[in-house]
Amino acid sequence: MSARVGVVTFPGTLDDQDAARAIRLSGAEAVPLWHADHDLKGVDAVFLPGGFSYGDYLRCGAISRFAPLMRELVPAAREGLPVLGTCNGFQILCEAHLLPGALTRNASLHYVCRDQRLRVEATGTPWTSSFEAGQEVVLPIKHGEGRYVADPETIAALEADGRVVVRYLGNPNGSVNDIAGIRNEAGNVVGLMPHPEHAVENLVGAPSTDGLGFFTSILKKLVNA
C-alpha cells in the first residue's frame, strides 16, 4: 500500500505542483486537497505549500486558517496527523495556533529570494528523520514575511525542548535566534520558511537535492507505520 500525502491548494497557492512532484519523486502518492472541501480524503500526512493564499489579505495565513479544509486539518493535526507547512504553509500553521509564534515582515523590508544555507537541528520529527543532526543543507527561500518572532518564554521553551528544527546560517530576515523552522510539542507538525519542494532535482537548476530528505523522511515513517 502506497503512502498518501495530501497537498492543500488555497486560492493563491503557488507551490502545490512542485510539492506534489516532490512527493511523487520520493515514492509516495500525492493527493490534491481543495481548501473549500471538508474532506481530507483519508491521507496519511499533509503538506501545506507556499504561495499567497487569499492574497495574504489581512495577514499571511489569517484567512486560510478558517478555510473549510482547515477545520478538518486542525483537529487531525492535534491528534497526530503529520503536517509540514513551508513558507505560507508555515504562516498558516502559526495563524491556526498549531505552532507557536508568528511570522512578520522581514527586518530589511526586502523580499528575499536566494539559496540559503541551513542547519537541520532536530531529526526526531517524521519530516526530518532522513537527516543527520547538525547536517548543513542548502534550500531556496523566497519570502517577504519570514521573520519568526515569539515571546521570550516561548523561544526559551523551543530551544530547551529541541523544537527548533531548522536554523539559518546567515540570517536572511531577522528571525529570533536564526530560527527557520520549528515543530509542535508532539513533533508531528513542522513549519519552515525554506522550500524543500524546490530542491529535489538537479535538472531544474535547484541549488541542491537536499529538499528530498523531508519527503523521504515522511515516506519512511508512513511505510514503516
- Minimum Å gap between C-beta 149 and another protein is 6
Q: Residue 147 interacts with another protein (CB under 8 A)?
A: yes
| Given 60, 121, 143, 195, the catalytic residue | 195
* Of residues 88, 87, 85, 105, the one with CA closest to residue 183: 85
Q: Residue 59 interacts with another protein (CB under 8 A)?
A: yes
- Minimum Å gap between C-beta 96 and another protein is 11
The cell for 217 is: 523522511
For residue 195, indicate whether it is catalytic. Answer: yes
Pairing relationship of beta strands 83-86 and 189-192 according to DSSP bridges: parallel
Candidates 32, 108, 113, 161: give the one binding another protein (CB under 8 A).
108
- Minimum Å gap between C-beta 95 and another protein is 7
Q: Residue 150 interacts with another protein (CB under 8 A)?
A: yes
The cell for 76 is: 487531525
For residue 94, indicate whether it is catalytic. Answer: no
Candidates 62, 112, 138, 157: give the one binding another protein (CB under 8 A).
62
Q: Residue 109 interacts with another protein (CB under 8 A)?
A: yes
| Given 87, 94, 121, 145, the catalytic residue | 87
Alpha carbons 101 and 84: distance in angstroms, whole number: 16
The cell for 118 is: 541551513
Residues of span 76-95 touching another protein by CB under 8 A? 94-95
Q: Residue 105 interacts with another protein (CB under 8 A)?
A: yes
Nearer to another protein, 41 or 110 (CB): 110
Residue type, 158: L
* C-alpha torsion angle, residues 63, 64, 70, 74 (rounded to 10): -80
Cβ-based burial of 219 (10 A; exposed 0-12, middle 13-18, buried ≥19): buried
Alpha carbons 123 and 134: distance in angstroms, whole number: 9
Q: Residue 177 interacts with another protein (CB under 8 A)?
A: no
* Of residues 137, 183, 141, the one with CA closest to residue 159: 183
Alpha carbons 121 and 131: distance in angstroms, whole number: 9
**Active-site amino acid positions:** 87, 195, 197
Which residues would be at the binding site for another protein (CB under 8 A)? 58-59, 62, 66, 94-95, 100-102, 104-109, 147, 149-151, 174
